[in-house]
Structure 1
Amino acid sequence: MNPEMLKGHLDAIVLSVISSGAGYGYAIMKEISSRSQSMIELPGGTIYPILHRLENNGLIASNWATAPSGRKRRVYTLTESGAKQLRERCEHWKTFAAAINMLLLEPVKSRN
């Protein structure tokens, strides 16, 4: 997928994945890939700055957890502010997508 098309939507995508349950960076990247049927593949260099920004803005929170392997990793959860932001972004997306679909996918109506 063209990375330019994702600009402005990555925060909402990450919030949506985190809203499904707490996760750590690599798991969030894999879930995005899985849910998009591998059409969206985000590298670590993209996901971690997004996670830090969302946390700095109070939309997600993080805690350190120990994985079954014994490795420590940062686990992210959605805050109330993040849940509100996600709902708002979903509503904006529905309106935007409907407008784009009308413009690009609806047949051109002939003028009388």
Structure 2
Amino acid sequence: MKVDKSLISGSTKMLVLSIIEGGDKYGYEIIQELNLKSYGTFVVKEGTLYPILHSLEKEGLIKSYPYKMENGRTRKYHKITKKGKTYLYTKKKEWNEFSTKVNMIIGSNV
């Protein structure tokens, strides 16, 4: 089922942080994991992801660092910070409260 992008846009920071919380990731890896874990519902393009990552880093919620691979190429990895973990915990609580109340109104048997 295709989901309205306006429903997704308000939660992208929380989704990206949730992926990074599971371990340091580089951009394409984040895109793949979002797609995989959502069964194709959250298909994020690089042009959408990288501004989100820059914003998260600017806010101090993640820290980026270069990693040199065996083949000599360098990838930019992203790691969640302590501030990012606190932010994510708060956003998850808000999301649970919000989704519970919405389901109480619309019903969860849709």
State if a TM-score over 0.5 links the two structures. yes
- Larger radius of gyration between Structure 1 and Structure 2: 1
Superposed CA offset, 1:26-52 (max 9, x none): 000101001101111000011000000
Among residues 86, 97, 102, which one is paired with 1:100 in the alignment? 102
Who is 2:88 aligned against?
A: 86
Whole-Å Cα distance in 2 between the matches of residues 11 and 106 of structure 1? 25
Question: Can you give the 5+ residue segments of structure 2 that lack an aligned partner in the other structure?
Answer: none
Whole-Å Cα distance in 2 between the matches of residues 69 and 78 of structure 1? 26
Who is 2:68 aligned against?
A: 66
- The answer to whether structure 1 residue 39 and structure 2 residue 41 are counterparts is yes
Whole-Å Cα distance in 2 between the matches of residues 58 and 78 of structure 1? 9
Whole-Å Cα distance in 1 between the matches of residues 68 and 108 of structure 2? 51
Name the aligned partner's letter for residue 65 of structure 1: Y
Shift of 1:4: 1.0
Q: Percent identity?
A: 33
Question: Can you give the 5+ residue segments of structure 1 that lack an aligned partner in the other structure?
Answer: 108-112
Q: 1:69 to 1:98 in 2, by over 3 A?
A: same
- Structure 1 runs of 4+ with >3 Å offset: none
- The answer to whether structure 1 residue 55 and structure 2 residue 52 are counterparts is no
Superposed CA offset, 1:41-94 (max 9, x none): 000011000000000000000100023432211100000000000000000000
Name the aligned partner's letter for residue 8 of structure 1: G
